[in-house]
Chain A
Amino acid sequence: MAQEAPAEEKLLHVSVSPHLRDTVSVPKIMRSVILALTPALIWAVYIFGLRALWLVLVGMMSAVLTEAICQKIMGRPITVSDGSAVVTGMLLVYCLPPGVPFWMPMVGSAFAIAIGKQAFGGLGHNPLNPALLGRAFLLASWPLHMTTDWRAPAMGTMSGIDAVTNATPLAVLKEAHKVLADPVSTTEQVVQAREAVAQLSSSYGNLFFGNVGGSLGETSALLLLVGGLYLMFKRYIGWKIPLTFLGIVMILTSAFGGADGLFTGDALFHLLSGGLILGAFFMATDMVTTPVTFRGRLIFGAGCGVITSVIRLVGGYPEGVCYSILLMNAFTPLIDRWTRPKRLGEKGLRQE
């Protein structure tokens, strides 16, 4: 193993091979993730105001502080400089409504780090994505803040369409489908609902560029894609989870998402709205809590897609990305065990 610097200049180091190491390190990966998330933050400040920046900073600081305090109490080395707590804080605030009071990112991040991460032993040992766990905790504890503190974007409407409503696009869709499915709806209500659905389907531009309401960092599909593709280019995330996740959501929402029977749903709308892009590229790809095997990652992404679609189409919440990833996180160890690759030469394994 590594030895102390030699006392004499001429002494040689001796260690086990390999003698060269890649320059990629955990802090380097985390810095890249932060960089990849930055365009979406700038956009959030642009459409929601400086408040967005403060919320993110509060979330990050709370995460870092909590991590340092936990490690201090447990007598472990303080590793906040690896950047993982910063990423957790950042991601958590990205999935909060932009109008939440400042204590929410503070409490959420503290919970995410203390309970979601440090309680299990810190980085690498947490079974569930800490940021999503923090969000789930906030949603369960203060549902009113988490479902009503929306803000309309600076130049558009909350729902991305003209209909006067203070709901996110996904919530508008959910409401419309409820009306359409309800036999006691009046003709007028049905017409209105159909009008809303039609308008949603013509608002792709707003969804793609992010001129809609929604959680702080999730609005602009474009900027999140830029960040996600950058991480793919750096090979810090793979294509398997995002592709299967997005693909399955598109297939299922197209098949079962319409009010007029099979394959009348609007897959593109589902793809671009809500936290799907953010979740698929930045949360379902969290290294610690997702499978390590090739097939495992395909299964993980597909599972996330199925659960997200089920929640969006028949569940009580308009959005299901957060819970789908958390649920699949819980399956990760099992998936890894089921999908170990066949070793080279395992085929002809000699039975002893």
Chain B
Amino acid sequence: MIQDMPLPQRVVIPLHQHTGAPAQPIVAVGDEVKAGQKIGEAQGYVSVPVHASISGKVTAIEPHLHPLGGQLPAVIIEGDGRDTWLEQPGEARQTSQSDSKAMVEAIREAGIVGLGGAAFPTHVKLSPPEGKSIDTFILNGAECEPYLTADHRLMVENTEEIVAGAKIILNILNCHRGIIGIEANKPDALAAMRERTRQEKELEVVALQVKYPQGAEKQLIWAITKREVPSGGLPMDIGCVVQNVGTAKAIFDAVVSGKPLVERVVSVTGPIVKEPKNLRVRIGTLFEELIQQTAGTVENPGKLIMGGPMMGLAQVSSQVPVIKGTSGVLLIPTDQAVIPEPQTCISCARCVDTCPMKLVPTELGKLVQHSLFKEAEKLGVLDCMECGTCSYICPSKINLVHLFKFAKAKILSEKRKK
């Protein structure tokens, strides 16, 4: 069950919660704000605004610990406990569903980004450039990582809104084929979605093989359409758009009731969490408060992660806020938190067999270790999506993904210099 978390006393809303340029604050310290009020304006096309998630008073606009690392500017709001909204969401704020432009604008104004974790501005994905037509829309119901169950619960409990959101997306894209991909180990979600889409001619539910990373965009597209997103290209290059089920729900909220993205479902979970929970949380709530909502942990956590165990980011403190891309808060015991010392590669090829991008991680790893970045680039290191499978499976415990992240950063910074 998704549980509504009690209203937080205080929220920390970072201005940078999405891929692209950070928003600029449009409120000042001392201002009274209402829930849903825009407090940061988008900067440029690939950017979205941010909104106050509770009503109260802006007490500071200052750098604060950020889940993506370091300290980044954030608007801190002290709540008044009344949760008054700028404008009660409802029919009055409905956007006409025959006007794609207006819908895309509403989605952008609502500050919606991909809620699967990447937090890429959704309006960009919904605006394919002239000449690119989308023939397949894929709704991603394959949970992106182990442990996380937020999308799963959402599909069971908010089926109606998700399907309505999917229809809005089809409308915007002028696309007539929508496929909802759900991993086969979620029979209740599959059943709920099938039941709800029985009358929908344009929507189809597909059960997917259970494997990691099935929820990764390129893998999902391949699994469903057998089309390959070209290296360095985008799904829209092959006529596909993928949105996460949570995003579809947010789109529904934005278009049908004019509600901006100020809350999301977060899985609070991990091997040591006594009672893992899915919480509907206001953006800006600190991780610590989420953890307090569960029955506690069986031992002191050794590691705190935003996201899943495979791609999530380790946090230095539980004083970081939930942002739009926070799909999970994961607690890991100390004995699993320490990354083992890497040994020599024995060419066992387990990484080659499992790489979902069909790279040769062992070879790439050796190239990067010798700083041969050009060669690594030729062999496709930039295609690595950092899913972590190779590091996970390596019997020599080599931190392959770490090497690839390093190489990618190196290569991309070289490219920028040129």
Contacts and interface: CB of A to CB of B under 8 A. Distances in A.
Interface of A: 1-3, 5, 9-10, 12-22, 24-26, 28-29, 79, 82, 122-125, 236, 238, 287-294, 297, 336, 340-350
B360 A292 contact: yes
A293 B349 CA distance: 7
Given A21-B391, A124-B347, A344 B222 contact: yes
A349 B345 CA distance: 30
Interface in B168-220: 218-219
B45 interface: no
Contacts of A346: 228, 231, 380
Contacts of A29: 348, 395
A13 B302 contact: yes
Interface string B383-415: 100101101111111010110010000000000
B339 interface: yes
A20 B347 contact: no
B334 interface: yes
A311 B317 CA distance: 66
A15 B337 CA distance: 8
A124 B358 contact: no
Contacts of B75: none
Please report whether the interface of chain B is mostly helix, strand, loop or mixed according to DSSP: loop
Interface string B335-349: 011111101111111
Contacts of A28: 395
Nearest to B311: A17
Given A16-B402, A292-B347, A347 B230 contact: yes
Contact of B392 (A18, A297, A347): A18
Contacts of B312: 17, 19
Nearest to B331: A12
Interface stretch (B78-86, B98-106, B232-240, B250-258): B232-240
B315 interface: yes
A345 B383 contact: yes
Contact of A25 (B146, B330, B349, B395): B395
B362 A14 contact: no
Contacts of B219: 344
Contact of A124 (B300, B309, B345, B352): B345
Contacts of B228: 344-348
B395 A345 contact: no
A18 to B, nearest CB: 3
B229 interface: yes
B233 A287 contact: no
Contact of B233 (A9, A82, A340, A348): A348
B68 interface: no
A29 B396 CA distance: 11
A291 to B, nearest CB: 8
Given A26-B395, A347-B228, A349-B230, A19 B336 contact: yes
Identify which of A17, A292, A336 gathers the most chain B CB atoms within 10 Å of its CB. A17
Contact of A18 (B357, B362, B388): B388
Given A345-B228, A348-B230, 10 more contacts: A16-B401, A19-B337, A24-B395, A292-B360, A293-B349, A294-B352, A294-B353, A340-B360, A344-B218, A344-B222
Contact of B352 (A14, A24, A292, A348): A292
B273 to A, nearest CB: 14
A9 B302 CA distance: 9
B118 interface: no
Given A20-B309, A343-B358, A26 B303 contact: no
B300 A19 contact: no
Contact-residue bracket for chain B: 35 or more
B128 interface: no
A69 B228 CA distance: 52
27 contacts: A2-B341, A3-B338, A13-B337, A13-B338, A14-B315, A14-B316, A18-B311, A18-B401, A19-B305, A20-B309, A21-B391, A25-B396, A26-B346, A26-B395, A287-B348, A289-B347, A292-B348, A292-B349, A292-B352, A293-B352, A340-B379, A344-B219, A344-B229, A344-B356, A344-B358, A345-B233, A345-B357
Contacts of A20: 146, 309-310, 332, 336, 392
Given A19-B303, A343-B231, A343-B359, A288 B347 contact: yes
Interface string B16-56: 00000000000000000000000000000000000000000
A24 to B, nearest CB: 5
B386 A287 contact: no
B301 interface: yes
B304 interface: yes
Contacts of B316: 12, 14
A13 B347 contact: no
A293 B360 contact: yes
A136 to B, nearest CB: 21
B135 interface: no
B402 A288 contact: no
A219 to B, nearest CB: 29
Given A350-B232, A350-B233, A15 B339 contact: yes
Contacts of A236: 348
Nearest to B338: A2
B225 to A, nearest CB: 13
B315 A19 contact: no
A336 B363 contact: yes
Contacts of A10: 300
A292 B346 CA distance: 10
Contacts of A1: 339, 399, 402
Contacts of B399: 1, 16
Nearest to A349: B231
B326 to A, nearest CB: 15
9 closest A-B pairs by CB: A348-B230, A18-B388, A292-B349, A124-B344, A13-B337, A345-B231, A287-B348, A2-B339, A14-B314
B238 A348 contact: yes
Identify which of A5, A9, A26, A82 gathers the most chain B CB atoms within 10 Å of its CB. A26
Given A345-B229, A350-B232, A12 B357 contact: no
Contact of A343 (B347, B357, B388, B391): B357
B313 interface: yes
Identify which of A19, A287, A348 gathers the most chain B CB atoms within 10 Å of its CB. A19
Given A17-B311, A21-B391, A124 B229 contact: no
A13 B314 contact: yes
Nearest to B336: A20
Given A12-B315, A345-B231, A21 B392 contact: yes
A21 B231 CA distance: 28
Contacts of B358: 341-344
A127 to B, nearest CB: 11
